Amino acid sequence: MRRVDDLGQQLRTARAELESLLVAEYTDVQLGAIARDVAAAWERTLKAAEPMWSNKHLAPLIAELVGLQVPPTVTDALDRMRLAANADKHDSTPRHDSEQLMADIETLVRGISDVAGVVPDLAVDTGSAPRRRVFIAIYDYETHGESELHIFPSNATVPRFYNREMDTVQIDMLAIDQIAADAATFGLWEWDPPAYATLTEQYRRESSQIYKSASFVGDYRELIRLLARSQHAHADGLLPGLHRADQWVSARTAAAMATVDSSGGATPPTWQSLALRLEAEFGLPRDRRWTTPAAEAFTALAQAAAAAGVYRLYGPLWRHPHVTEWARPPVAGDETFAAAITADGCLWIAELPGRLPESDEARSR
């Protein structure tokens, strides 16, 4: 992700948080925390983009922007944010104006392009990928020489029947140790993690075929790409319903990631190009049950977002099923795959749907 996109995402997150506060009761402590986050995001980003500024605080950084002819509306808004953040850090009873705070955040979101125009290195990649923590239950089926990895969100808990997979991957049994070693090069792979000891014990009591459990913290896209490259040699020959491309959850997760990775152009990708990406990078053959419906649905989702002026996406983020209100209304949604895109470019997928749809439902949309 480019620095300018990372900054934009942080500001849009702060704006969404502030909007959610304003519809209920809020305190100056909460407003001040948002001001500090916004000021810190700008200071951190500007320091990273210009080595000569690395030892400067936000006030002299704003002076640099003034000297570079950044519009006064932007620099004034940033200076007010700086003062609000400082007041929150140093005053015993700071007071914050919620309407001014929202107006300044809006100005700063729009002003990112003005600053990027005079600070070229804001377009440089940050070099850091988003991280995600997952729990993995690994079954061994020795008759078939296969290990099956069931991947769950980090909030997997007991009793285990409350948990729904994010993905399921069948790999060659002999490949699991090498996969763990490879995953450790771009994240943290831990066998039998203590945080999931109770859950692991429940799996072991209920199945003699459970091999191990693991947790992974790191770039989830890279983990899925790694697993996809290691899929069992017989995976393409599996009976209908047994391949991960036949699993609604697996196809949805991969399609959401591929849609975000393909975003940012003048037009969204076609469903055919998205399907090719799902096959090449995420191990979902186009002729399996859910690959094409997922590609079609997420392409339509991206096209609807583009029609609303949202081209560059980030995420996907998993939306908790108990959250019923949106801080910002979606500009595009798909009921079959329980996915939506909000005005800030975030692609959301519902964490646990009440019912998994049939693929025919997707094709009849």
- Distance between CA 317 and CA 322 in Å, rounded? 15
Q: What is the C-alpha to C-alpha distance for residues 229 and 196, in angstroms, rounded to an integer? A: 27
Report the candidate in 267, 337, 276, 275 with the shortest Cα–Cα distance to residue 302: 267
Q: What was the pLDDT predicted at 284?
A: 84
pTM of the model: 0.67
- DSSP, res 345: S
Beta strand 210-218 with 187-191: parallel, antiparallel or unpaired?
antiparallel
Q: Are strands 346-350 and 314-319 parallel, antiparallel or unpaired?
A: parallel
Q: At what angle do helices 220-229 and 271-282 cross, to 10 degrees?
A: 70
* HSE-up (13 A, CA, CB side) for residue 166: 28
Sign of CA dihedral 294, 300, 305, 306: positive
* Domain covering 3-123 in this structure, CATH number: 1.20.120
The answer for residues whose C-beta is within 8 angstroms of residue 194's C-beta and 6 or more apart is none
Cα gap 120→113, rounded to integer Å: 11
Backbone angles phi, psi at 118, to 5 degrees: -115, -5
Q: How far is CA 315 from the centre of its chain?
A: 3
Tokens of 80: 């007010």
Chain Cα centroid distance, residue 21 = 23
Query: What beta strand segments (E) does 95-186 contain?
Result: 132-141, 146-153, 167-172
Q: Which residues of the chain have a pLDDT value below 50?
A: 353-365
Query: From edge to edge, which strands make up the β-sheet containing 314-319?
Result: 314-319, 346-350, 339-342, 330-334
5-49 residue pLDDT tens: 889 888 988 988 898 888 888 999 999 999 999 999 999 999 999
Residue in this structure with the two tokens 């729009």, named with its chain if needed:
110
- Report pLDDT digits (tens) over 245-270: 777 888 898 999 999 988 877 788 89
Measured distance CA(200)–CA(136) in Å, rounded: 10
**pLDDT computed for residue 111 by the predictor:** 93
Sorted by where each begins, the domain ranges of the chain are 3-123, 132-233, 251-363
- Contacts by 60-66 with C-beta closer than 8 Å and gap 24+? 65/115, 65/118
CA distance 170 to 210: 14
